[in-house]
Amino acid sequence: MRLYSKITRRAFFYLIGLLFAGISSAKSVNILGTKHNRIKEWNDILKEAKKFPFIKALYSRRSRRFGWGMEIPSGPLKFKSDKPPIGLDAFENAFIISSGIGISGWHNGIPFSSSQDGLCSYNVRFTGRTFPCTAGIGNMDLFYTNDNGTYFVSTRNGDGSNPWKISQDSEAEKLIAQVNEHTKKLSNTRIQLSRDGTNFSAHNIWNGNKEGSTLYIPVSNVAEQLIAMLFIVVESGYLVYDDLSKRNAGNLTKYLNSQLLQKDRKYPLSYLEQYTLTQCAVEMGTMGQNMALSLQPLGLGGWFYSGINPFSIMGLKVKKGQPGLGFNFEFNDDWGVPNPTGISDLYHSMSPPHFNSMTEAVDMFIEKKFGENGAFRGQNHPYKNDTFTDNANLPSKETIECVSEIAEYIYKEYGKFPGTVPSIFVRYYIQAQRLETDYYDKFFKPGAYTETHKANVERWSRQDI
């Protein structure tokens, strides 16, 4: 049956895109009067994806920037796609997200530290995910935006006893449902930024966050990461020293006198904060690589990049009609850039203005770990014996007071926490889109894309469905 005999090829594709993109349930849909069950197709794709070799995904991973509906307006590679910008469907989206921050079970914690008695309690969460996280702190989450809206996905406190394993060929529906369970829709529109050099790097103006694409935005709570690192540093006896102001990071004399801290073990504050930010960046990079690899078995184009202004994405230009993600910012003439602190009641830094003080933030951090439902007091953990977590001792009152003193010093000295790096970090993006193979066929030697990319184009271009 030729479904589009009375409409143009481009209009047909566009209608199909409107109907398929954003499907979020496992129901049959009616396309131009023809009943079409997407579930079988998704499960067939999943079956093939499970067979896709890791080495093949690794060595076929490329930045494939030209998607359906895009145009290079000038230059030797000038080209205009004749295909409409059809977005990802629900299964493709769920597959990519689960590769980035899917719940893989429980992680095994850190078994021992010479700086602590009993079970080492560095980690904040036991949720295992598809990327590594420093010391089990695990605060990384994900935003994404496409033609259907803007979304927030959080798995940081997910139930590790219910991992997102694809154990059967008929579980595409289950994967979609698992992702949806952890997703909150923030708006009905794509993040729209003016296409100029203030929002995009020059080489990303033509294709970054374009219609038909999905832009994935990893986010990290650097403030929480630093509090966790301060406990590790203090419990190891290090004296946090503000190397920029040339003094101890707070009134730490009594902690030196008690030998909680060692005067000959100085830890430069600027280095500690750079180290903490680097941890977050590496986690984002690993997440991005996982998601880029997941594009290969699906046959999608896309790439991992940093060429969009993160402050614009977060919402710094709200007064110019570009609200972005809706983040709050703090401003200070002494800072080179504004400081993002997050979105109230959704995702925010573990620091003022979302807490009255850093002492209150530190207390909340302790509650996360050792409160009634905390990692070391609840029942959600990887150990066979529930009594194992009883051996994880609450940090001493002196340790908590010392960390609070350092945290208060940083905030008062620099006007924010952390003092020299952002409270919330957004910098990298993973973009996915349908690949315009005609462009690569015209300009590049064979091998620019794989058979799965060809199959995806054929699947979405075929006339008989």
Q: Mind listing the pLDDT tens digit for each residue in 49-91? A: 999 999 999 999 999 999 999 999 999 999 999 999 999 999 9
Q: Name the phi and psi angles at 304, rounded to 5.
A: -110, 125
Q: What mean pLDDT is predicted for residues 39-49?
A: 91
**Cis peptide bond prior to 418, omega within 30° of 0:** yes
Write the single-letter amino acid at 172: A
pLDDT at position 383 is 86
**DSSP code at position 396:** P
Q: Are 380 and 371 within 8 A, CB to CB?
A: no
Does residue 365 register a pLDDT over 60? yes
Question: Could you tell me the fold of the domain covering 9-461?
Answer: NADH Oxidase (3.40.109)
Q: What mean pLDDT is predicted for residues 99-109?
A: 94
Give the pLDDT band (50/70/90) at residue 20. very low
- Distance between CA atoms of 376 and 394, rounded to whole angstroms? 9
Write the single-letter amino acid at 214: T
Residues 6 or more apart in contact with residue 394 via CB below 8 angstroms: 366, 370
Q: Name the phi and psi angles at 248, rounded to 5.
A: -60, 150
Does residue 266 register a pLDDT over 60? yes
With 0.85 as the threshold, say if the pTM is over it.
yes
What's the mean per-residue pLDDT of the chain? 90
- Distance between CA atoms of 434 and 21, rounded to whole angstroms? 12
Pairing of strands 424-425, 429-433: unpaired
Does residue 362 register a pLDDT over 60? yes
Mind spelling out the 3-state secondary structure of 252-283? CHHHHHCCCCCCCCEEEHHHHHHHHHHHHHHH
pLDDT at position 19 is 43
Helices and strands (H and E) in the chain: how many? 13, 19
Of 324, 292, 33, the closest CA to residue 194 belongs to: 324
Q: What percent of the chain has pLDDT over 90?
A: 79
Q: Are 211 and 86 within 8 A, CB to CB?
A: no
- Distance between CA atoms of 30 and 238, rounded to whole angstroms? 64
Does residue 6 register a pLDDT over 50? no
What pLDDT, in 10s, does the model give residues 314-335?
A: 999 999 999 999 999 999 999 9
Give the pLDDT band (50/70/90) at residue 168. low
Q: What mean pLDDT is predicted for residues 126-136?
A: 94
